[in-house]
Amino acid sequence: MKIYLDNAATTPIDPQVVQAMLPILENNYGNPSSIHSLGRESRVIIEQARKKVASFINAAPSEIFFTAGGTEADNMVLRSAVNDLGVNHIITSPLEHHAVIDTAEHLGSGETVKLSLVKHDAKGHVDLVYLEELLADNKDKKTLVSLMHANNEIGNKISLEKVNALCKKYGAYFHSDTVQTMCHYKFDVRELGVDFLTCSAHKFHGPKGVGFLFINQDVQIKPIITGGAQERNMRAGTENIYGIVGLTKAMEIANENIEEHQNHIQGLKTYMIEQLEKQVPGISFNGDPKGESLYTVLNVTFPNSEMDEMLLYNFDIEGICVSGGSACSSGSNIGSHVLRGINADMTKPAVRFSFSKFNTKEELDITLNVIKELFSINA
């Protein structure tokens, strides 16, 4: 039996989503750009999906653009802001997802764009006072602020309302990568007033390879992928119709049951924290898991262990799927830039446990027993 606790990386697709996609895969193979009946049917399906997605975040359908996922959408925002909106100053965080920080660093490597990085407190929370200082000190520049709603490694959340208010005060554009939080919280873009939000379906039990970008109707940018008139000339390439249907169904399920899922998953995270503190001497947590934190993510630093970089493999051998922090991961031996950024103890193994609606307390008990065995802790 596999215990899957790596939901921040990707989530298992919901069976209801699969059932919604199957008829599209089997029957709706017409190209949405074709004028014949099969093409028109596909176009109707996409536009119906766009309306539904827009309704979930109180956007206009014309503000929703389907993409291949969050990374493409993040790149589209940052690059188009510079190319089309005249942005010559980007403020972001050193703890951002690589889709944002790597793109921002690339854009800021020349002479045209200045890159500023916000400070964080010891727990990894964005310093909003320093953010305002950066905005005030660069009033002569056209600025884009790009800060993720919740960190994908340690779970820390920002207040979209507070950041957006600062951006509006100083005339800056605001983009938030909401890949980890879309469909885990309710969004109302009219109330938030943000300029850009990015989303990826596979983070909330939808299919991989599809997401969307929300662009406020008051903002006009050009595509970074050219070669076709799809997505109202904003994103060339034949639309992933079955992926779009899957994304929409996953959003529908999440929004219908959002409070139930929140309570269930928060209960799992709270239980895991309590049991780790009771059962594992020397345990510590990265970020602010008991404070302003995403309820699906828990990042743990374990006591020194002879296995160190082998810890993830030992979990895997026991049938438990998790992700690492300071341990070697994905072919990189430099460890987590997020944990380095908050001055975590990089000499000790760190593990990210991330939960979903499909996880159970029984799975956590099994995981806790495995942890005690791995660290030779007496029951």
Q: Do 19 and 211 form a contact (C-beta atoms < 8 A)?
A: no
Contacts of 245 (CB under 8 A, 6+ apart): 20, 21, 24, 45, 49
Contacts within 8 Å (CB) and 24+ apart, 333-336: 336/153
Average pLDDT of 27-47? 97
The Cα–Cα gap between 246 and 244 comes to: 5
Q: Is residue 298 part of a domain?
A: yes
Q: Does 274 share its domain with 237?
A: no
Q: Which domain holds residue 350?
A: 3-11+258-374
- H or E stretch covering 272: helix 258-279
Q: Does 117 share its domain with 135?
A: yes
Domain boundary among 219, 238, 256: 256
The Cα–Cα gap between 256 and 252 comes to: 6
Q: Does 154 share its domain with 86?
A: yes
Q: Does 173 share its domain with 210?
A: yes
Q: Is residue 363 part of a domain?
A: yes
Cα atoms in the Cβ-side hemisphere of radius 13 Å centred on 4: 11
Of the pLDDT bands very low, low, confident and very high (cuts 50, 70, 90), residue 310 is confident
Q: Is residue 162 part of a domain?
A: yes
Q: Does 241 share its domain with 263?
A: no
Cα atoms in the Cβ-side hemisphere of radius 13 Å centred on 182: 31
Number of domains present in the structure of the chain: 2
Q: Does 333 share its domain with 217?
A: no
Work out the burial of residue 112: count CB atoms within 10 Å of its CB; fewer than 13 is exposed, 13-18 middle, 19 or more buried.
Answer: exposed
Q: Is residue 379 part of a domain?
A: no
What is the pLDDT at residue 19? 98
Q: Does 181 share its domain with 301?
A: no
Of the pLDDT bands very low, low, confident and very high (cuts 50, 70, 90), residue 371 is very high
pTM over 0.75: yes
Q: Is residue 31 part of a domain?
A: yes
The Cα–Cα gap between 210 and 68 comes to: 4
Contacts of 316 (CB under 8 A, 6+ apart): none
Q: Does 84 share its domain with 210?
A: yes
Q: Does 350 share its domain with 369?
A: yes
Look at the chain and count its residues. 379
Domain boundary among 238, 256, 274: 256
pLDDT at residue 330 tops 90: no
Q: Does 95 share its domain with 132?
A: yes
Helices (H) and strands (E) in the chain, counts: 13, 13
| CATH number (domain holding residue 82) | 3.40.640.10
Let me know if 328 is a catalytic residue. Answer: yes
What pLDDT, in 10s, does the model give residues 166-224?
A: 999 999 999 999 999 999 999 999 999 999 999 999 999 999 999 999 999 999 999 99
pLDDT at residue 333 tops 60: no
Q: Is residue 364 part of a domain?
A: yes
What is the pLDDT at residue 328? 33
Q: Does 180 share its domain with 309?
A: no
Work out the burial of residue 13: count CB atoms within 10 Å of its CB; fewer than 13 is exposed, 13-18 middle, 19 or more buried.
Answer: middle
Phi, psi of 301 (to 5 degrees): -105, 125
Q: Is residue 323 part of a domain?
A: yes
Q: Is residue 343 part of a domain?
A: yes
Domain boundary among 214, 241, 256: 256
Cα atoms in the Cβ-side hemisphere of radius 13 Å centred on 249: 21
What pLDDT, in 10s, does the model give residues 114-158?
A: 999 999 998 999 999 999 999 999 999 999 999 999 999 999 999
Specify which residues 115 forms β-bridges with.
90
* Catalytic annotation, pick one of 167, 183, 321, 328: 328
| CATH number (domain holding residue 265) | 3.90.1150.10
Q: Does 239 share its domain with 328?
A: no
